[in-house]
Amino acid sequence: MDTRKPFILPHPGIAQEFDVLFADTEFSRLPLPTESVFAWVKQTELLSLGITCLEASVTPSGLYAVRPLDKKLRSRCTTFVIDEVLPHLEAVSPTARFRSSAELRKQLRAFLSDRRRATGKPPAIAVDWAGDAFLLGEALPPDIDVLLLEGMPSITRAMDTFFNEDYRRHNAFHDALALRHGFMDYLGTAGE
* Residue 189 pLDDT class (50, 70, 90 cuts): low
Buried/exposed code over 88-113 (b: 16+ C-beta within 10 A; e: otherwise): bbeebebbbebeeeeebbebbeebbe
Domain for residue 159, yes or no? yes
* pLDDT computed for residue 12 by the predictor: 82
Domain for residue 3, yes or no? no
Domains contained in the chain, number: 1
Rounded to an integer, the average pLDDT of 145-174 is 94
Residue bearing the bigger pLDDT, 138 or 44:
44
Domain for residue 7, yes or no? no
Question: Mean pLDDT across the chain, nearest whole number?
Answer: 92
Domain for residue 2, yes or no? no
pLDDT above 60 (res 190): no
Domain carrying residue 169: 14-189
Question: Model-level pTM?
Answer: 0.93
